[in-house]
A and B are shown apart, each in its own frame.
Chain A
Amino acid sequence: MTDLSQTGAIAGAVVPPGPPRPGLRARRRRTLLLLRIVVLAVLGAFFLFPLLALLEFSTRGVGEDSPRTLDAWGRIVTDSTLIPAIVSSLQLAVITSVVAMVLMVPTMIWVRLRLPRVSRVVEFLCLLPLTIPAVVLVVGLVPIYAWVRYLTRTDSILTLSYAYVVLVLPFVYRSLDNGLSAIDVRTLAEAARSLGADWFTVITRVVIPNMAQAVLNAALLCVALVMGEFTIASLYNYVNLQVAIAQAGLADANMSMAVSLASLMFAFVLLLGLSFVGRWRRRHGKAAA
């Protein structure tokens, strides 16, 4: 990551000072500036307009020429199907991130420390869900879910988290892999081992605290992905947040627009926060080095 931003710094200086042909340089620089402005303005409009339209739609009053109103936003809290769906989605998000972390963190540390031979297999398996469309997974999971329901004797929406853990695997893998690459796990572990720590202590008290940032990143990504999940829930007829939004769209368009925007803002804040924390850490780390 640090390497990237450094090469970026060099690539940014495409036009070096003291050019041999000032006229040509200046013209090229002007063309580039014009290109920048046009591209950023056009694409900026393309990306912002739908969000503004959501806001506009959600504050429309009933009937023509009625004044702007926040009624639709108020109906979010009073709606009878929406609140349970939001609660379910939040529960799913927590369960999925906890299960994914418990499954992945020890595995990845262990692979790095003791079983580097299987690291390619683990990587392949973790990135596989990117290649298998979620809708395909839904079809294949039918018999598995029949067994799960039979064995656990429950039909709760929370069983969706089994599938969600698979869905978040690639993202968790990448985040944790970045975190592990940034620290010298082997030396840390050897130091702890020679001081008499057992493997459990090494993992929980030495390695994990050193990659807390990566674990947090991965967990927040899980939350964002689960809150936005629609495919699996809707095909298995469970009402999570996104399914509830889709259903509300048929009955109360304004409210569904309001929830859409709200859930979007939630994801925005979560993921933007993530990227800014990461950036701050990187710069902070560079300054300290």
Chain B
Amino acid sequence: MLPFFAYVGIFLIIPTLVVVIAAFLDGANRPTLANVSELAEPYIAKTFWNSIWVSAVSAVIGAVLGALLAYVVATGDPDGLVRTTVSSASGVLAQFGGVTLAFAFIASVGPAGLLTTWILGAEAAPTWLLSLKGLVLVYTYFQIPLMVLVFLPALDGIRPQWREATETLGGTAWDYWRHVAVPILTAPFLGALLLLFANAFSAYATAAALITQGAPIAPLQIRTAFSSEVLLGRENIGKALALGMVIVVAIVMTLNSMLQKRSSRWLR
């Protein structure tokens, strides 16, 4: 018991407090708001905005396609090959971020990628993979499987009796979706959407491996601050950036747990 709390205290709680407190300290440990007000600087605000945009778009795409895939799986044979393969593969692919994922997409749609050379020929060298749209595409690769993992239990919780009850009462398929399935699934869907958002927002490795120059999104801005903060004499900008990220993720996860409480009323 004691070792656990000691370990978690030293390597999890103190670092978090360091970020939160040092964000409000200057180089000489005097309290200041300069670091935090730096977050409002256009170039930093822009990276946060970009991060939110990439996370939101990849979360929406991942949620919609993931929900579709989960629906296809949930309506199929529960012990069938499709379900076994999809749920196992989702478990693996949801964890699959980082350098290898970045390289897989460079090999596919990078300047010399397989798809690029097929469609455009060898001489074309598009750079859109390194843009925000490229990030969205790459992030989708782990967002869809995560959605399947999170949303499949909710779909499994839908009881066929509810559909039968609708039909017995003379309802059509539209009535069933409009008045039964969609209202029940809305809360878990939105909860999963928020989880996907937080997942993309915190992701660092994939973007870092893909974009080695510059820092269009917040985690990469932390990289820049982290590797140059001593030189610039602005010691705690990185901590202010980190605090900004923690706040965004904390808001999203709080909303997520509120939605989870709501959805547990119908789905167990």
Contacts and interface: CB of A to CB of B under 8 A. Distances in A.
Contacts of B141: 46-47, 50
If over half of B's interface residues share one DSSP class (helix, strand or loop), that class is named, otherwise mixed; here it is helix
Interface in A84-126: 103-104, 107, 110-111, 115, 122, 125
Interface stretch (B30-38, B185-193, B237-245, B258-266): B237-245
B53 interface: no
Contact of B103 (A32, A132, A256): A256
A15 to B, nearest CB: 9
A41 B96 CA distance: 21
A275 B104 contact: no
A26 interface: no
Contacts of B95: 224-225, 228, 267, 271
B255 interface: no
A40 B82 contact: yes
B15 A257 contact: no
B105 interface: yes
Contacts of A234: 205, 208
Interface string B218-240: 01001100110000000000110
Given A134-B202, A163-B11, A267 B92 contact: yes
A139 B103 contact: no
B77 interface: yes
A133 interface: yes
Contacts of B209: 230, 246, 249
B92 A140 contact: no
A12 B77 contact: yes
B10 interface: yes
Contacts of A14: 75, 160, 163
A122 B77 CA distance: 38
A51 B96 CA distance: 12
Given A52-B114, A110-B1, A235-B223, A260 B103 contact: yes
B173 A11 contact: no
B98 A230 contact: yes
Given A14-B160, A135-B204, A271 B107 contact: no
B44 interface: no
Interface residues of A, number: 87
Contact of A139 (B78, B83, B93, B226): B226
B4 interface: yes
Interface in A264-279: 264, 267-268, 271-272, 274-276, 279
B92 A122 contact: no
Interface string B93-114: 1011111110111111000111
A242 B1 contact: no
B204 A231 contact: yes
A135 B223 contact: yes
Given A5-B78, A47-B141, A242 B99 contact: yes
Interface string A132-153: 1111111111111000000000
Contact of B11 (A141, A235, A249): A141
A137 B74 contact: no
Contacts of B201: 133
B88 A125 contact: no
Contact of A249 (B82, B103, B144, B155): B103
Contacts of B160: 10-11, 13-14, 16
A247 to B, nearest CB: 10
Interface stretch (A53-61, A190-198, A208-216): A53-61
Contacts of A73: none
A184 interface: no
B253 A131 contact: yes
B183 interface: no
A4 B91 contact: no
Contact of A35 (B72, B97, B158, B227): B72
Nearest to B91: A275
Interface in B12-49: 12-19
5 contacts: A39-B68, A56-B114, A57-B112, A144-B11, A163-B11
Interface of A: 4-5, 7-14, 16, 28, 32, 35-36, 39-40, 43, 46-47, 49-54, 56-58, 64, 103-104, 107, 110-111, 115, 122, 125, 128-129, 131-144, 162-163, 165-166, 169, 224-225, 228-231, 234-235, 242-243, 245-246, 249-250, 256-257, 260-261, 263-264, 267-268, 271-272, 274-276, 279
Given A5-B78, A43-B65, A140-B14, 12 more contacts: A8-B74, A50-B141, A51-B104, A53-B115, A54-B107, A129-B12, A131-B246, A132-B12, A139-B226, A144-B18, A230-B99, A275-B87
7 pairs of A and B residues whose beta carbons are closest in the complex: A140-B15, A133-B202, A50-B104, A57-B107, A230-B205, A53-B108, A53-B107
